[in-house]
Amino acid sequence: MILVWLILIPFIGGLLSWLVARWNVTAARWIALAAMFLQLALAVGIWITNWGAIKLAGRGPWLIDYRQPWLPQLGISLHFGLDGFSLLLILLTGVIGVWSILASWRGIQERVGFFHFNLLLTLTGITGLFLALDLFLFYFFWEVMLVPLFFLIDIWGHERRHMAAVKFFIYTQAGGLFLLLGILGLYFVSGKGSFDYFDLLGTPMSAVMAMWLMFCFFLAFAVKLPAFPLHPWLPDAHTQAPVAGSVDLAGLVLKVAAYGMIRFMIPLFPAASLHFAPVAMTLAVIGILYGAILAFAQTDLKRLVAYTSISHMGFVLLGIFAWNELALQGALIIIIAHGISTGALFILVGMISDRFKSRSLENMGGLWPLLPSVGGVWMFFAMASLGLPGLGGFIGEFLVLLGTFKVSVGFAAVASLGFIVSVIYSLWMVQKVFFGRPSHTEPVPGLTWYEWAMMASAIIITLWLGLYPQPFMDTAAGSLLNLLKGTARVSSLRSPVLGTDIETPRLRLLLVAKYHSRLRLIGSFGVCPQNPIIDSGFILRPYFGDSYRNSLATQVGTQSETGATLSPEFRCQSPKYSPALMLCPSTDNPEKRDHTIASLPPSPRRERLGVRGSRGGRP
């Protein structure tokens, strides 16, 4: 029930605020603020009370589960669930929600009640999205989030708000239609008559069908994320939205897409996602570089920050499709850190444009002496944006690239160029606003107490994420590992979690899989005499994303030179992905190892990939 309250609090707060605003505008603001504070407090309370459960391994990732039938004839239920991953996003929602109300404290003077109703309804939708475990419910909240956001942009936006609002709506709605299509498709393919997440997980279907459905989900989320080339709505929407809208968009709405991919798209269609990964990762890398270059090109400050979001979200997309623990934890940290730091940057832009009545870089320069504290804070978030170690963004980007490097050196290397281009736009932004010859000389009001409060909280969270992100990672670890385990076939094939430090490998076990029509070495580990039994982590959990019919179960047992019996069990669903075990005698020499791999036939069947060398036998 507490989960329902998480959703209801902003909703009720929004309604109340709308009503009260007829009599007292300030009271309406306070009500909205109180509602978001209450939600944040509730989320923090859940975090603290569940801390023990989070740290406790083996209890399963789900902390709170709530299920009530809604439309049982159609298999739709009010199913909400909270695990560490969604908890972190709820916390982010709380923080960003409080900020967005404070950020519009002075700026919004028209139709205050309706503004707060829309704002809080958006936050309601977002909260619901992070909790929904019923796909229909998920889609419902998707729309709940979308419509009020449209009004926020269209009514309270800047000079070209109508165009931006319509553009935003059409893009997102088009994406949303694909999401609906994907959800309905999955519903009918599964034939279970249920929209429940857990009922739909592991639905057997043909590879082609999986690909189409996955693609529907991907389109919806890629628009929202946004991934190159579906991003053009974002600069307009960010630029034209009121400050609170921009903060919500950057801080939360984009994150919904990342959440959707991690929670729904990949677990529902692991094999198809794996197949699609090279395409998605290419888009991610292009997005990283393209967003950064275009950020540098902008002269409108808000537009500049908007394009940086495209660049950062590229890292998230890359991490998601790399799909291993490092990359996912990294993506999660970016999600939080980017929400905080970009939210703060939008608030800062709001402060600057409030005080100087302009967002154009052409009209700025040399503002440091007038607003040294804003300059300092701005510099801080510019550094967070370019990925300075010690701040949140760096940890995320580093982990994503580290995880990606394990999967693909090429993607990681090219994405690393993002480190260079992000410096260019970040420094450019600081330089054009604060350095150079002074463009304004008349003094402007300093920061108010709530502006200080927002900036201080943003700085503290960013430093916390950068210097000791462990609490966040621990919170999410259980859920992320569970998701990885659910798609074990994919993850194990892509980057097996292989043994710890083995000092003197006598024997090297190579795990080979055919991946995108090329034979690849996907992992290897040594077997040492002291510890001959291979860790059970090596056994691939049976998971059937494609079809039972094509599945094969293989047992490979062999006698190694150390006398240990190796019996890893392999199950996989189609010969296309068939992994094989290969034993190579004592290959500490990487060149030799590479040679062994390279000498394999280009398109081998599983049978040909038996045990190499003279030792060991096959069943």
Query: Which residue's CB is nearer to another protein, number 29 or number 167?
Result: 167
Q: Which of 397, 362, 391, 396 is nearest to 379 (CA)?
A: 391
Q: Which of 490, 498, 542, 543 is nearest to 524 (CA)?
A: 498
Q: Which 8-state DSSP code applies to residue 360?
A: B
Q: How far apart are CA 105 and CA 101, in angstroms?
A: 6
* 460 near another protein (CB under 8 A): no
Q: Is the dihedral of CA 278, 282, 284, 285 positive or negative?
A: positive
CA-to-CA dists, residue 580 to 549, 554, 570, angstroms: 19, 9, 8
Query: Rounded to a whole number, what is the largest CA-CA distance in the chain?
Result: 88
Let me know: does 340 contact 458? Beta carbons within 8 Å.
yes
Query: Which residue's CB is nearer to another protein, number 67 or number 595?
Result: 595
Q: How far is CA 178 from the centre of its chain?
A: 20
* 229 near another protein (CB under 8 A): yes
* 56 near another protein (CB under 8 A): no
Bridge partners (DSSP) of residue 66 are: 80
* 463 near another protein (CB under 8 A): no
Query: Which residue's CB is nearer to another protein, number 389 or number 617?
Result: 389
**Binders of another protein in range 296-355 (CB under 8 A):** 296-299, 325-326, 329
Q: Which 8-state DSSP code applies to residue 73?
A: G
* 177 near another protein (CB under 8 A): no
Query: Which residue's CB is nearer to another protein, number 112 or number 225?
Result: 225
Min. distance of Cβ 91 from another protein in angstroms? 18
Which one of 99-107, 244-252, 398-406, 609-617 is the stretch in contact with another protein (CB under 8 A)?
Answer: 398-406
Alpha helices in 249-388 (DSSP H): 254-260, 266-268, 270-297, 301-322, 325-356, 372-385
Q: How far apart are CA 244 and CA 239, in angstroms?
A: 12
**Binders of another protein in range 600-619 (CB under 8 A):** none
Q: Which of 436, 482, 360 is nearest to 61 (CA)?
A: 482
Which helix (H) or strand (E) segment is 88 a member of? helix 84-103
* 69 near another protein (CB under 8 A): no
Query: Which residue's CB is nearer to another protein, number 272 or number 484?
Result: 484
Let me know: does 337 contact 396? Beta carbons within 8 Å.
yes
Tell me, residue by residue from 575 to 594, as one string, x for binding to another protein by CB under 8 A and - for no binding. -------------xxxx---
Give the binding-site size for another protein (rule: CB under 8 A).
61
Tell me, residue by residue from 112 to 151, as one string, x for binding to another protein by CB under 8 A and - for no binding. ----------------------------------------
Q: What is the dihedral of CA 46, 52, 54, 60, to 10 degrees?
A: -110
Tell me, residue by residue from 484 to 523, as one string, x for binding to another protein by CB under 8 A and - for no binding. -------------x--xx----------------------
Which helix (H) or strand (E) segment is 79 a member of? strand 76-83
Which one of 5-13, 195-203, 248-256, 364-372 is the stretch in contact with another protein (CB under 8 A)?
Answer: 364-372
Which one of 35-43, 116-124, 273-281, 470-478 is the stretch in contact with another protein (CB under 8 A)?
Answer: 470-478
Using CB under 8 A, list all residues that contact another protein.
228-229, 231-232, 235, 293-294, 296-299, 325-326, 329, 366, 368, 372, 376, 379, 383, 388-390, 394-395, 398-399, 401-402, 405-406, 409, 412-413, 416-417, 419-420, 423-424, 427-428, 431, 434-438, 467-470, 473, 477, 497, 500-501, 588-591
